Amino acid sequence: MPIQELNRVDSVDAAMQLALSLAARGPVRDPNPQVGCVLLAPPSSGGWPRRILGRGFHRGAGSPHAEAAALDDARSAGADARGATAVVTLEPCAHTGLTPSCANALLEAGVAEVVFAVADPNPVASGGAARLRAQGVRVLEGLRRSEGEALLRVWLTGVTERRPFVTLKLASTLDGRVAAADGSSKWITSDAARAHAHQRRAEACAILVGTGTQRADNPSLSVRAPAAEVASQPLRVVMGLRAVAADAAVRAQPELFVHLRTHDAVAALEELRARGVRHVIVEGGPTIAAAFLRAGLVDEIDAYLAPILLGDGASSVASLDIGSLRDANRWATESVHPLGVDTLIHLVREPQAESTPSRAADAEGVAA
C-alpha cells in the first residue's frame, strides 16, 4: 500500500516518513517551507500499530499550515484529536500571521504529544516547542532530522543565511571539459541528462549564466519538455559587465530577464534575494562557477558527466587559486544516478561536526 494511503502505522518513525512524503507534495517555489503532519490516535492497551486520525501538508502561502490541515482532516472524518500525537516535519510555529499559530491549534485540539524533525530557526515563528511544553505537552525533536533538513534546504538557507540557495550545475566530459578546443559544446551530455536538468530548472526560481556563456551559446534559460508543465518559468539571469544583445534568447520574455552588471557573487545574490528569488541554479560558465565557489556560496553541485574525453578545451571551473591538494575545495557525494549514457553525481558540502546533539533517539522511544 502506498505510504500516503496508510490507515495505521507501526511506529512514530513510520509516521514521520509519511509526514515527510506529505511535505514533499507542497510547492517547491513557495516562500513558506514544505511541511507535513500526521495525527496519531492515543495509544491503546496494545500499543502499536496506531490509527492515523488525520494528515495534512502546507499548500502554499496563505493556506492552512500542515498541522491545521491535519486537524481539519481529522475533524472531517469525525475523529477527536484529544490525547493524540502530532508528528510534524518542522517545529510547530508560535506566530500568528496570515494563518493562526500551529502551537495554539494543537493545544486547543487537546494534542498530548508532538514529535518534530527540524527546529524552526526563524525568530519570527519559533518558540512553538517551548509553548507546548509549558502547557504540559510532551515534545520530542530530531527524528529524521537530516531528511527534514534536506527537504527544507532552500528555505533553511534563506532563513539562516539570508540569501538564495545555490545549485551549481556542471555538465562536462570525464576530463572536466565543457567545450572542445574549437569551442564546440553541443552537445556534451545526452538527451536524458538534459531532460533531467530541465526538471531541476523547474524547481528553481532563477537560472544564472555569465555574459561569456550567454554570448557563446545564446541559451534561452527556460524550462522545456518534459518539464514544461511548471506553473511559471524561472527568472533568466545573466551576470557580468558586458552588454546582452537585444535579440538574445534570454530576452524572449522581457519580464523574466535580469542582467546583473557585476562580477561579485555576493552582490548578485543580494539583488536576486531582493527580487524574491529563493533558489538559483548557476549554469556557467567557468568564470562564474569559480566566482561562486571562491565565495563559498555554492550549497550543492549537480555534476553531469559524459563518457567522453577531449584532453583540451575549456574547463568546467576556472582557477580557484588553490596551489596544493590539501587546500582543495572538497565535497561529499550524496548520490550517483545513471542518466542514459551519462552519470549524475549530486554533491553537497562536506558535513560539519554537529553543534548540538540530536534527540532522535528520544523520539524513537515515544510512548506506545
Q: Measured between alpha carbons, how far is 262 from 265 in angstroms, rounded to an integer? A: 8
Q: Measured between alpha carbons, how far is 198 from 223 in angstroms, rounded to an integer? A: 6
Q: Which residues are catalytic?
A: 67
Closest to 367 (Cα-Cα) out of 138, 36, 119: 138
Residues making up the chain, counted from first to last: 368
Closest to 91 (Cα-Cα) out of 63, 132, 59, 57: 132
**Residue 26 in grid coordinates:** 507542497
Largest Cα–Cα separation, the chain: 75
CB 166 within 8 A of CB 140: no
